[in-house]
């Protein structure tokens, strides 16, 4: 897939106020400070699209970005449109318990009720061992039949051996509950690692939707 443009559309705290229509949505979520905004900017080729911050908990709303891509269909290329949805992080953030509770409620309602949601990319920091909050969130999606992929971030921050150890540890933890593991992507927002694989995955998913 070739990205032609990516544009911010709207922010909401209620899934019922999200854009109408039948454009497919691909959600991105992870623990606070996992590098979500940087990954979104890398995927779309727009460094200023999602706001990055060294302060965890920057994203506090459901953010919709309209992505226009050019995809290969049979013997021709076709322009397609889909929403990239940037969701608030879970886990650590310097906010009140009430605010954190409201975020979790907003996220939960989005996942359980948003019909346009096609797939979710759960971001995991490749530098650390499996975290219970990540495993719990993946379990929540699986139990509710929400298609998901695992995206390991920040692989440029360490060597391949360290990345492999943490990725394999996460896989082992998942296998305690999952018979078949979801798709897994290895990424770096700095080097662009994983960009083509994620975009190709979205392209192939879009093709199946519109066949």
- Dump pLDDT digits (tens) for 112-154: 999 999 999 999 999 999 999 999 999 999 999 999 999 999 9
Average pLDDT over residues 63-88: 90
Domain 2-209 is found in CATH 3.40.50.300: yes
Q: How confident is the model at residue 168 (pLDDT cuts 50, 70, 90)?
A: very high
* pLDDT, position 100: 65
Let me know how many helices (H) and strands (E) the chain has, helices first. Answer: 5, 7
Mean of the per-residue pLDDT values of the chain: 90
Check residue 137 and give its pLDDT.
94
Which pLDDT score, from 0 to 100, does residue 57 have? Answer: 45
Please state, in angstroms and rounded to a whole number, the distance separating the CA atoms of residues 193 and 43. Answer: 10
CA 62 – CA 87 distance, rounded (Å): 5
Count of Cβ atoms closer than 10 Å to residue 16 Cβ: 9
Q: Are 128 and 157 in contact (CB under 8 A)?
A: no
Give the CA dihedral 204, 22, 10, 66, nearest 10 degrees: 30
Q: Please, which pLDDT band fits residue 89 given cuts at 50, 70 and 90?
A: confident
Distances (CA, A) of 118 to 27, 43, 60, 82: 8, 18, 22, 10
Task: Say which residue the tokens 């994983």 belong to.
Answer: 194
The residue ranges of every structural domain in the chain are: 2-209
> Given a cut of 90, is residue 3 above it in pLDDT?
yes
Neighbours of 170 (CB within 10 A): 23
Give CA–CA dist 58/121, Å, rounded: 19
Confidence of residue 90 (pLDDT cuts 50, 70, 90): confident
Q: The pTM is what?
A: 0.92
Say how far apart CA 170 and CA 185 lie, in whole Å.
13
In this structure, the number of other CB atoms found within 10 A of the CB of residue 197 comes to 15
Task: Name the band, by pLDDT with cuts 50, 70 and 90, for residue 158.
Answer: very high
pLDDT given at position 56: 44
Q: What's the whole-number mean pLDDT along residues 10-33?
A: 93
pLDDT digits (tens, 9 = 90+) for 172-183: 999 999 999 999
């Amino acid at each position: 897939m070739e990205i032609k443009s990516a544009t911010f559309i709207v922010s909401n705290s209620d899934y019922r106020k999200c854009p109408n229509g039948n454009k497919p949505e691909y959600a991105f979520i992870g623990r606070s400070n996992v590098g979500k905004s940087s990954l979104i900017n890398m995927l779309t080729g727009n460094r200023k699209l999602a706001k990055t911050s060294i302060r965890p908990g920057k994203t506090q709303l459901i953010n919709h970005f309209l992505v226009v891509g050019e995809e290969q269909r049979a013997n021709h290329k076709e322009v397609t449109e889909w929403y990239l949805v940037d969701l608030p992080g879970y886990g650590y953030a310097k906010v009140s318990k009430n605010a954190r509770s409201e975020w979790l409620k907003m996220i939960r309602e989005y996942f359980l009720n948003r019909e346009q949601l096609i797939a979710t990319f759960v971001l995991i920091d490749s530098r650390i061992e499996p975290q219970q909050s990540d495993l719990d969130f993946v379990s929540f999606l699986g139990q509710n039949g929400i298609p998901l992929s695992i995206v390991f971030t920040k692989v440029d921050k360490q060597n391949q051996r360290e990345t492999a150890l943490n990725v394999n540890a996460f896989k082992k933890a998942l296998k305690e509950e999952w018979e078949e593991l979801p798709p897994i992507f290895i990424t770096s927002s700095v080097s662009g690692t994983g960009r083509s694989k994620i975009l190709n995955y979205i392209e192939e998913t879009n093709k199946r939707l519109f066949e």
